[in-house]
Structure 1
Amino acid sequence: MKTPLLLAVAAATAALAGPNCPPLGPVYEKPYNFKTSSAIQAAVANLTASFTAWDQNNSSVIRANTTSYSIEVFSTSKENPLIFSWHHTAASLAAATNTSGVRKTDANAVYRLGSLTKVFTVYAWLVQDGDAKWNEPITKYVPELAAAADRAKADPVANVPWDEVTIGALAGQLSGAIRDYGLMSEITQEFNQGEAMGLGFPPLEDSDPMLPKCGEWPQCNRTEFFNGLLRAYPSFAPFATPAYTNTGYQILAYALEAIKGKSFQTMMEESVLQPLGLNHTYYRDPPAEEGIIPGVRSESGWNYQLGDENPAGNMYSSVGDISSLGRAILRSTLLPPALTRRWLKPASMSSELVAGVGYPWGVRRVVVPYRQGKRVVDAFNKAGRIGYYASLLVLLPDYDAGFSVLIAGEDIPGNTNFNMADILGAQLVPALEAAAREQAEAKFSGEYVDEARNASLRLTTQSDRPGLGVENWVSNGTDMQTIAVVMQGGYAPVSPSVRLYPAGLETVRADGSKRVAFKAVFEDLNLPARTDSMFSTDCGTWVSFTGVVYGTQPLDQFIFEVDAEGKVVSIESLALRSVMKKR
């Protein structure tokens, strides 16, 4: 039955206020037109100028004379896997006479990774065993923790409730356990008793059970590690807040060894390094002749091994191999795509509005500044720091692209890897978004017509808003743009808007042709913008998908037919049973 509302639909005008609100994820197909994109070409030119200036700056913020580094911006495109690369060799390294490593940086020069190792550790776990056990308690696989689980019931302040800590909690930094035992953060391993007292700490008796007898030297074996760890107070209750723990990754390795009956190093090499051909990546003890070794080798940290804590931060690699790792993750080379999508999601938000924590990712929400649209890109990163080395891997799944940064120097300024990331990201994210829009405009824009059903629409892109814009959408002579927004929202819209976004669904046939699904968002842009409301929002479209259905088919679902050469042939409106051919 027709309602008075549908009968009263009329054109009206008003100033635009609310933004276009796309679903989370890419708003265009992933870009691959890197060589022809004017936006990418401009970004590469700007990056070249930025790092040329960086290399000439020997201030305390940069220290280019003593800091070597390698950068790659990569994509999963087979035609254009490397978008930008930059290598800087510090003058001190080039002139060194006492190094056993290389004297010039390139894509194959090996650096230490520090905590970037954790990405390899989680990857090895997922390849070996998936994530089916991630909600199981760690006590199921580590007997030392099972034996200690009851202590927390008597005194939760002093003991971790290990039976509440899951495998996923350890991978996602949500266990609440301490950061390290005996290594790195332990003052008694770094300073003698007199030095510690000079820093304000009280003396400790050698008989004190809390005093680590192992750590940096001699390193703890498994028994010593658990004897000490189980005396340590928890930082937080499990799942209360992200709290970085290297101990968690050591425990993860013990658990996987128990599940698979192999050494963790063997599993790492067999399941990740060898299948991906990462010939310049090492779990431990790399050949020095491949390495960037700044300063005095014994002081650089090149030789130092973390023992059983190796899975948390011991590995070595080249910038080329780290880029290959990033491509493999984004391509789902070793994992099912659904598992990759689960992996590239936050485990928890943090106290910073734009930041979260993953497995083991840091997650940054990067705003893409559309004048008429709310759009964020989730960037997944992992940084590392050990000895004279720093590292960073950043993945941008919305574009199937990312970048890798490896740094070596005797006195690296503390935030150098992220300072470089800020330069890279400021150029890359807008350029990748623009490249994707350029590509979408060339591929999808135009008129689509189904003469048999008197149906048609026009697709366009606009630089001030995300997605494919639907204009002049008609079915049986009816203005479907207004009808769709009316039926979705339940009122007559003033400024109806329909925009299409990739649904992440496609069917590829044997001949290379495809069916590719896009989801429409129906909005009235006349609604008020809300920027300071506590609960009200102007970007809640995720609750409305498939909100209008006709004969089980959603009005907001469209399917593109793409031929084997990549040209769009038609668009199908499922609910309207209409296939409109592209003119």
Structure 2
Amino acid sequence: MLSQNAALQLLLLLATLATAAPNCPPLGPVFEKPRNFRSSAAIRAALANLTEAFQTRDADNSAAVRANITSYSHEVFSISDVDPVIFSWHRTAPAHASSHITNGGVKKTDADTVYRLGSLTKIFTVYMWLAQDGDVRWNEPITKYVPELAEAADKAKDDPVGNVAWGEVTVGSLAGQLSGAVRDYGLMGELTQTVDQNTAIQLGFPALNSSDPTLPKCGNSSPASSKSTPPTPPSPPPPTPNTGFQIPAYALEFIKGRPFQQLMEESIFRPLNLSHTFYNKAPSNLGIVPGPASASDAQWDYQLGDENPAGNMYSSIQDISVLGRSIMRSTLLAPVLTNRWLKPASLTSEPNAGVGYPWGIRRIVLSSVANGKRVVDAYNKAGRIGHYNSLLNLLPDYGVGFSVLLASPNLPANANVNLADALDEQLLPALEEAAREHAQDTYGGEYSNGENSSLKITTQPDRPGLGIENWMSNWTDMQYISVVLAAGYSAVSPSIKLYPTGLDTVVPGEMNRDTGRAATRGKRVAYKAVFEDLNVPSRTPPSMFSTDCGSWVSLTGVTYGSMPLDQFFFEVDGSGRVFSVENAALRMFMRKS
């Protein structure tokens, strides 16, 4: 029978644990990338729900969807060789299936149907620069490679309000949408080139004299000759200028001495075998060409000229998926360069959004992980041009992405991101669960040295990472000791979670007597532990400076003989079976039972 005092202490402890802080993983994946797409019950259920949702969508002729006049292709892809395509869906609007409407275009959409991309072209442009030249020049001034901008840079010294400070603009700030340059020059949104003077006056604008120096000159789209005032100084909050991709195209031509289109074809199209991707003027018989004949021909054929690197390209859903897969696989780039590319360049005024090179970044909080600060970063680029919408979205934590291409003579507002929202609601929780299932099947179980050291690894649906339980070393409770050493005080509710580092190395097997070479036995996989006392109260809502999620500060905070206590190594055989684990500091192998 508990004494009154002991019972009170127990109640206080239980009350504290009920409001305990959730687990705080480092940024990035909390499990290895899933490979069990076909066997995962969560994935199968999500795909069934998606099929039903798209069937319903394809019958919706409301203004929000306009299924009767909107054709689209949609694909979910992965870096897995076994399941490179997880889900695909193609919709041909009834209005686009008639030969007299499609003007020589396809009568039925499929994986090879070509659409226009709009600003999704910018991903190709930056990818091509990185494949050709890396990012070593990204902190250099653009005037070094586009000398025509030097004269314009001098004007900004006297009048920074009326002129872009090109001398302070770097190559990387252009790619990262941080240049402070005008959005376009004499093209998109320029009313003097899209409406006549009388119409402009009726809209409330003043009449302009033809000799006015601020009027854009037809056929001259050089940003250096622009009279537009800069929206911001260099490296500001991002205004997303199209000139930020036109100008690097000039620079790369200067550096490499070859035309931009040739560079694109040799560094991206041919290595990835993108047979249905075109820099300009794609054959209409490969594309979906919606709308009345005169309008649709113009929407399909018109070119952006010098702004082609910002929004002119054409591609198919299959080729866009190949592109996304190659980025996450680092097919054309060194992995470290890919990692630098998939990072924010700036924050925005929206707390869960940022911008990259030239990504739009969404920070998605997974509500299914109720007891963990689980944030998934999605790297996307959307585009719109004429009758076409596009979107590429990468989820590097899972090695999964999806692409959306749409065509309609009257596109619904945000049609591409609306499709993405419908997808993510089903897909993200399923991917997290599939990754957890894979981690449990691969790493879960009992490990022991057969004498005085052992531990158990488990996973929980509502918590991130591999959980370590019952960790004993030399008959000592390491579950408690490790958290005390990391925190610097006695732990009430010690928790240890392991997270993948992305580091592994091949482990050679025994020598093959016939070949004289070592046989490949498997690999050694590194995981990082986070030691936490979950007795720390959860800060909801969050404080201005105090936090219950600062685990990134304390990684490798405790070492023994120069080896980190929070580093674990798993030995994996050639079939993918885990057979042992070792803690770096304790230097103890424990075999899986």
User: What TM bracket, shorter-length normalisation?
Assistant: over 0.9
Matched residues in 2 for 1:48 and 1:552: separation? 53
Q: Which amino acid aligns with 2:553?
A: V
Q: TM-score, normalised by structure 2?
A: 0.94
Q: Secondary structure at the match of 2:189?
A: coil
Q: Which amino acid aligns with 1:418?
A: V
Q: Are the aligned partners of 1:144 and 1:226 in contact in 2 as well (CA < 8 Å)?
A: no
CA 1:481 to 1:263, structure 2 compared with 1: closer, same or farther past 3 Å?
same
Is 1:172 aligned to residue 176 of structure 2?
yes
Alignment of 1:416-495 (within 5 A): 416-451=415-450, 454-495=452-493
Matched residues in 2 for 1:73 and 1:114: separation? 20
Alignment match of 1:311 (pick from 306, 309, 312): 309
Shift of 1:147: 2.3
Shift of 1:227: 4.9
Matched residues in 1 for 2:430 and 2:223: separation? 49
Q: Are the aligned partners of 1:553 and 1:574 in contact in 2 as well (CA < 8 Å)?
A: yes
Shift of 1:512: 5.7
Alignment match of 1:540 (pick from 537, 542, 550): 550
Q: Which amino acid aligns with 2:73?
A: S
Q: TM-score, normalised by structure 1?
A: 0.95
Matched residues in 1 for 2:507 and 2:279: separation? 41
Q: Secondary structure at the match of 2:397?
A: helix
**Cα deviations by residue, 1:425-464 (Å, 9 ceiling, x for unpaired):** 1111101000000101111100000135x11100000001
**Cα deviations by residue, 1:139-186 (Å, 9 ceiling, x for unpaired):** 110011122222222111111111111111000000011100001111
In the alignment, what sits opposite 1:528? 537
Alignment of 1:325-474 (within 5 A): 325-369=323-367, 370-451=369-450, 454-474=452-472
Percent of matched pairs sharing the same residue:
63
Is 1:233 aligned to residue 229 of structure 2?
yes
Q: Secondary structure at the match of 1:501?
A: strand
Q: Are the aligned partners of 2:185 and 2:223 in contact in 1 as well (CA < 8 Å)?
A: no
Matched residues in 2 for 1:297 and 1:253: separation? 33
Is 1:295 aligned to residue 291 of structure 2?
yes
Is 1:551 aligned to residue 561 of structure 2?
yes
In the alignment, what sits opposite 1:189? 193
In the alignment, what sits opposite 2:591? 581
Q: Which amino acid aligns with 1:335?
A: L
Alignment match of 1:59 (pick from 59, 62, 77): 62
In the alignment, structure 1 segments of 5+ residues that lack a partner are 1-11
Runs of 4+ in structure 1 over 6 Å off: none
Q: Which amino acid aligns with 1:518?
A: Y
Matched residues in 1 for 2:343 and 2:525: separation? 24
Is 1:206 aligned to residue 210 of structure 2?
yes
CA 1:258 to 1:328, structure 2 compared with 1: closer, same or farther past 3 Å?
same
Shift of 1:296: 2.8
Q: Are the aligned partners of 1:380 and 1:395 in contact in 2 as well (CA < 8 Å)?
A: yes
In the alignment, what sits opposite 1:3? none
Q: Secondary structure at the match of 2:151?
A: helix
Matched residues in 2 for 1:29 and 1:532: separation? 29
Q: Which amino acid aligns with 2:532?
A: E
Q: Secondary structure at the match of 1:117?
A: helix
Alignment match of 1:115 (pick from 119, 143, 146): 119
Shift of 1:361: 0.3
CA 1:297 to 1:182, structure 2 compared with 1: closer, same or farther past 3 Å?
farther
Q: Secondary structure at the match of 1:134?
A: coil
Q: Are the aligned partners of 2:34 and 2:434 in contact in 1 as well (CA < 8 Å)?
A: yes
The root-mean-square deviation of aligned C-alpha atoms, in Å, is 1.4
Matched residues in 2 for 1:529 and 1:147: separation? 57
Alignment of 1:240-319 (within 5 A): 240-300=236-296, 301-319=299-317
Q: Which amino acid aligns with 1:286?
A: A
In the alignment, what sits opposite 2:82? 79
Q: Secondary structure at the match of 2:185?
A: coil
Matched residues in 1 for 2:461 and 2:287: separation? 45
Shift of 1:535: 1.1
Of 28-37 and 87-96, the range deviating more from structure 2: 87-96
